[in-house]
Amino acid sequence: MADTATIGILQERAVRHGETLSEQLQTALNSRVTIEQAKGVLAVTGGLSMNDAFTALRAYARSHNLMLGNVARALAERKLDPALLLPRRDHTS
């Protein structure tokens, strides 16, 4: 009977672990989609390449000590002005 109980406990733990892993993967995917959306906003707004848009996004998050996903979400939801993240261009040439 102890063996049966042990098997039941182990199976329940495996199921719980699988559910946790699935939730973590979904969260990561959602974050990645949001980051891509934010990159698109910056690319279109600032005339940047996607790589430069990501660099600007990451630089803003780092310089303000914010999580990249949170900055991306605010930008994608239009709660953050894209101009704040765009590199300043000097027009004094």
CATH number where 81 lies:
1.10.10.10
Q: How many domains does the chain have?
A: 1
Give this prediction's pTM.
0.69
92, part of any domain: no
Under a CB-based contact definition with an 8 Å cutoff, are residues 86 and 45 in contact? yes
Indicate the average pLDDT of the chain: 87
Where does the pLDDT of residue 89 fall: very low under 50, low under 70, confident under 90, or very high at 90 and above?
A: low
Q: Is residue 90 part of a domain?
A: no
Query: Contact, 72 vs 59, CB < 8 A?
Result: no
Query: Would 93 be classed as within a structural domain?
Result: no
Classify residue 42: in a domain, yes or no. Answer: yes
**Residue 91: inside a domain:** no
Instruction: With respect to residue 57, please indicate whether it lies within any of the assigned structural domains.
Output: yes
Q: Which domain holds residue 7?
A: 1-85
